[in-house]
Amino acid sequence: MATAPGVMIFAEQSGGTVHPVSYELLGKGREIADRLGGELSAVVMGQELESEAQELIFRGADTVYLFDHEALAAFDIMNYRLNLLELVNEVKPDIILLGATPIGRSLGPRLAAALDTGLTADCTSLEIDEQGDLVQIRPAFSGNILAHIKTSTRPQMATVRYKIMQALPRDCNRQGRIIRRESLVEEPLAVLSRVPCNRHARTGVAEAEIVVCGGRGLKKPEDLKMLQDLADAIGGVVGCSKPLVDEGWMDKEHLVGFSGNTVRPRVYFAVGVSGSSQHLIGMRTAGTIVAINRDPEAAIFEIADYAIVGDLYDLVPRLTEAIGKEQAPGEMEDALCT
Ligand SMILES: Cc1cc2nc3c(=O)[nH]c(=O)nc-3n(C[C@H](O)[C@H](O)[C@H](O)COP(=O)(O)OP(=O)(O)OC[C@H]3O[C@@H](n4cnc5c(N)ncnc54)[C@H](O)[C@@H]3O)c2cc1C
C-alpha cells in the first residue's frame, strides 16, 4: 500500500495512431490524479510515435513513457506485457487504466496476473472514495445492478469502456515530459503472419458517428440489407441487438449493449429493437435517438428523442429514399409521419 498515488494509463495505438479511448482515459485519469494529488502518466508503445506522445501531453498527461521499437509497431502481447511490467515495477503507479478494447482486454489481465493484483473489466464509471481508494463501477447481473468494486491489492487496475468517459479539450500549451524508454524485445516463438491493421480503414460500430441498429423486428438476415442501405445513405454503420448475433446474422463486433459495444454516436437509429436494459446500457448516451417500432409501448421509446410507431418494412425504405433525394429535414419528417 506504500505506492505513490500516481495514475498510469496505457495509450494503445494501431497503425501509428493512438486510439481515442486513450484520450478518454486521460480525461478521467486527470480528474483522479488531481483528486489524489498525484501524477498522471501515459505509456505508448510503437514506432515513430513522438507526435502521438506529444498529443498525449496536450490531452492531459504529465509524463509520457515512450517505447519506440519496430518490434512494438504492431500489438505483440509478449513484448508489450514485458515492457509494461518492467515500467510499472519501477514507477509503481497506484492506479492503472486501459481501454476495454481487444488490446486492453488482452494486455490488462496478463499484466494484473504478473503483478499479482486484481483487475475490474469493462468499467463504466470510476470514483475515488473518502479513503482515496478507486471505486470501479460496472454493470453486473445482466446490467440490472451497478457493482461498486474496490481492490485491496495494489496497483488498482481497470479496463474502461470506450465512449463512456469524457476526453479533455486539446490544450497545445500544456507542458509535460516525454521519457524515452529502452525497449525490451523477446524473439517470438513463431509468427505465422502479421495482418496490417489500420483501424481508420473501416469504422466500427463503436467509433461511428451514426449507427443504424437492427433488432429482432427484422424477419430474416437478408433484411439487414435494408438497414445497410439506410446506413450508406447517411454515412452510418450497421449495429445489432444480441438476438441477431445469437442467430448468426451478424458478427459480435456489431453488437451494441452489455455484452458488446458501448456506442455514443451523434445519431442512433434503433430499428425493431425493444429496448432491453442490456441493450440500453450500450447506447443510452447517444446524441439523438430515433426509434422505429410498431409497439407504442416499447421501452426504447422511453429514451428516444424521435419515436416513430410503425412497421419498419414500410418506414426504413421510405426514410432511405427521402434521404437519397436529399429532401429537407422537414420533408423527411413528413415522409415518416404520414
Ligand atoms: C447476460 C445478458 C447479456 C445481454 N447482452 C445484450 C447486449 O449486449 N445487447 C443486446 O441487445 N441484448 C443483450 N441481451 C439480450 C436482451 O435481454 C434482449 O433479449 C435483447 O436486447 C432483445 O433484442 P431485440 O430488442 O432486438 O428483440 P426483442 O426484444 O424481441 O424486440 C423486437 C422489437 O421489434 C419490434 N418489431 C417487431 N416487428 C416489427 C416491425 N415489423 N416493425 C417495427 N418494429 C417491429 C417489436 O415490437 C419489438 O419491440 C443480453 C441478455 C442477457 C441475459
Atom of ligand 1 lying closest to residue 276 CA: 21
Question: What pLDDT is recorded for position 330?
Answer: 47
Q: Which domains does the chain have, with CATH numbers?
A: 7-181 (3.40.50.620), 210-337 (3.40.50.1220)
Q: Which three cell numbers stand for residue 123?
A: 468499467
Atom of ligand 1 lying closest to residue 313 CA: 41
Residue nearest to atom 23 of ligand 1 (CA): 241
Question: What pLDDT is recorded for position 337?
Answer: 43
Question: What pLDDT is recorded for position 319?
Answer: 94
**Long-range CB contacts for residues 221-226, cutoff 8 Å, separation at least 24:** 221/247, 221/249, 223/313, 224/249, 224/250, 226/312, 226/313, 226/316, 226/317, 226/320
Q: Which three cell numbers stand for residue 147?
A: 457493482
Question: What pLDDT is recorded for position 194?
Answer: 61
Q: Which three cell numbers stand for residue 92?
A: 509503481
Question: What pLDDT is recorded for position 325?
Answer: 72
| Ligand 1 contact, 142 CB (< 6 A) | yes
Atom of ligand 1 lying closest to residue 256 CA: 9
| Ligand 1 contact, 66 CB (< 6 A) | no
Question: What pLDDT is recorded for position 336?
Answer: 47
Q: Which portions of the chain are predicted below pLDDT 70?
A: 1-4, 142-143, 188-202, 326-338
| Ligand 1 contact, 258 CB (< 6 A) | yes
Question: What pLDDT is recorded for position 107?
Answer: 97
Tens digit of each residue's pLDDT (9 = 90 or more) over 258-267: 999 999 999 9
